[in-house]
Amino acid sequence: MGSGKSSVGKLLSEKINYKYGDTDEIIENLEDMSIKKIFRIHGEDFFRDLETGLLLSIKDSLKKTVLSTGGGMPIFERNRELLKNMGHVVYLQASKSTIVERLSGDTTRPLLKGEKLEEKVEKLLSTRLKYYEEAADITINTDNKSIDDIAEEIIEKLGY
């Protein structure tokens, strides 16, 4: 969360002339509700089912597209499997302090709401790291790098 998937993904798609999609944004449009409201009204499990349902519905038709996922997408094996079959998976890695810096003051991420942002980020990172690594074809550290530099690094590493 906050590693830059949406920001970098959008710029990358422009640079390589691919279409762009963001699973959080698509879900918000389909449900006509913000992620925050989906979590509040229907709960996290409902949102996770929407994420998997979305991957299943687009997996066979996605061509030349950069798809930014939600930060929790790879924590489920079913989603990792789907993502791996859809294309290259890039893990944008960021340290706790970078994430805290980028997301302090943000009110749109329900899993980080309230106090003790650092502790919440720490816990998410430590429990999720293995899934992110498992899902990834390549990993790029984003600390102290510009969005443009990160997009260029992906292009270089994946040879687009």
Ligand X SMILES: O=C(O)C1=C[C@@H](O)[C@@H](O)[C@H](O)C1
Per the annotation, does 123 bind a ligand?
no
- Which of residues 35 and 151 has its CB atom nearest to ligand X in the complex? 35
- The tokens describing 78, both together, are 């079913």
74 belongs to the binding site for ligand ATP (CB under 6 A): no
Phi, psi of 91 (to 5 degrees): -95, 115
Distance CA 111, CA 107 (A): 10
- Which of 68, 71, 61 shows the shortest CA–CA distance to 124? 71
- Which of residues 2 and 82 has its CB atom nearest to ligand ATP in the complex? 2
- Which of residues 58 and 147 has its CB atom nearest to ligand ATP in the complex? 147
Minimum distance of ligand ATP from residue 64's CB (angstroms): 21
- The tokens describing 71, both together, are 């930060």
Per the annotation, does 70 bind a ligand?
no
2 belongs to the binding site for ligand ATP (CB under 6 A): yes
Distance CA 94, CA 51 (A): 23
6 belongs to the binding site for Mg ion (CB under 5 A): yes
- Which of 13, 28, 19 shows the shortest CA–CA distance to 90? 13
Per the annotation, does 128 bind a ligand?
yes
Minimum distance of ligand ATP from residue 6's CB (angstroms): 3
Helix, strand, coil shares of the chain, percent, nearest 5, are: 60, 10, 30
Interface ranges with Mg ion (CB under 5 A): 5-6
Interface ranges with ligand ATP (CB under 6 A): 1-7, 24, 68, 70-71, 102, 109, 142, 145-147, 150
Binding-site residue ranges for ATP:
2-7, 109
